[in-house]
Amino acid sequence: MAFQLSAEHEAVRRAVREFGEAEIEPVAREHDETGAYPEELRRLAAEYDFVAPNIPEAYGGAGMDTLATTVVTEELWRADPGIGSAVGSAGFGTSMLIEYGEEWMKEEWLPPIAAGEAASASAISEPAHGSNVAGIETSAEREDGEWVIDGTKTWITNGTVADVAIVMAKTDPGAGHRGITAFLVPTDTPGFEAEKIDNKLGIHASDLATLYLDGVCVPEDNVVGAVDEGFYQLMDFFASGRTSVAAQAIGAAQGALDAATEYAGEREQSGQPIGEFQAIRHKLAEMATNVEAARSLAYRAAAHVEAGEDELATRFASMAKLFASERAVDVADEALQVFGGAGYVTDHPAERYYRDARITKIYEGTSEIQKNIIADGLL
């Protein structure tokens, strides 16, 4: 089943690619080496509707469909995974707000996020609970008309730069996944602290943190959706989240492939470009085939997500995430091999794509989790 991009989707790709080549690629190495968060680039990207492009036009966003947002993510990561992650994740949690948030929440937070003036975070994972969302221990208790939240979250993207976070907490500790609630928490709320995690293998420009919530009080109105329904609300976005990570992986793989192809045409050995040697040509051919196969699978997942076909969306999103992330690591590895010794140093982007691609096999559900989900749909 083929998924042809429309003229509008192709226009989106061209626009993001031009932005990436003009604004991201020239500073990618600098941000990777310093780990500096690219706030100015985030604000600039927002001017072109590349930040949280899923936000409806009514709230200042571009209102892009799932396939278009997939293309945006892919192209941002093609330019540089670290900066691509920082820009692409600036609207984490907005899908939850759009679907389940009260009108005041949308009016207060969606416009500044779409404009690049604010960033959001989604606080789910905990030190002892990554893939097992139902096991989270962060708690929220009602006291005097407020909710008091206590706990620790970790591996939180945008943790130290976000202005607001969607925090998942247990409101009925004995009910497992049936007792989880989503809360809208401004990050300047007393008791909310973020500690940056800066010893990452890759995507250095993307902010990552551990959050400490010590008696964080929010009004009862800050419940997103319904009390004790947070897990089920979150499940609505697993497929779109995994499709997005597949797009990230494809972008990283495409970037690595592009770099290797260019190098193969320039680097000479024995009086000819190394791209003329069959061994290199075969590597590039296999890399390109894997990238295109992953892209087709991701676009199919995006189409099912957009159509609201939950069962198919779940299956194909996991397939796309599994295949694209595994192949991205393989492609980045082969790209480095094409560069040889030159690829092992920071003079070229090969080693950066190699490091950056690896995260896509881990977050939004590890490859092992995706295999379980796919098998569940088969048996």
Active-site annotation, residues: 364
CA 135/CA 138 separation, integer angstroms: 9
Torsion of CA 43, 44, 46, 48, to 10 degrees: 170
Q: What are phi and psi of 50, to 5 degrees?
A: -95, -5
C-alpha–C-alpha distance, residues 282 and 80, integer Å: 25
Instruction: Name the DSSP letter for residue 6.
Output: P
AA identity, residue 215: G
Look at residues 54, 46, 66, 56 and name the one whose alpha carbon lies nearest to residue 118: 46
- Number of neighbours of residue 156 by Cβ within 10 angstroms: 24
233, 99 Cβ separation under 8 angstroms = yes
Query: What's the number of CA atoms in the CB half-sphere (13 Å) around residue 134?
Result: 7
Dist CA 3 CA 300 (whole Å)? 6
Q: CA–CA separation, 368 vs 304, rounded Å? A: 22
CA angle 301, 255, 363 (to 5 degrees): 50
Contact 322, 364 (CB under 8 A): no
Rounded distance between C-alpha atoms, residue 344 and residue 333, angstroms = 11
Residue 167, beta-bridge partner list: 123, 183
Residue 228 phi, psi (nearest 5): 70, 10
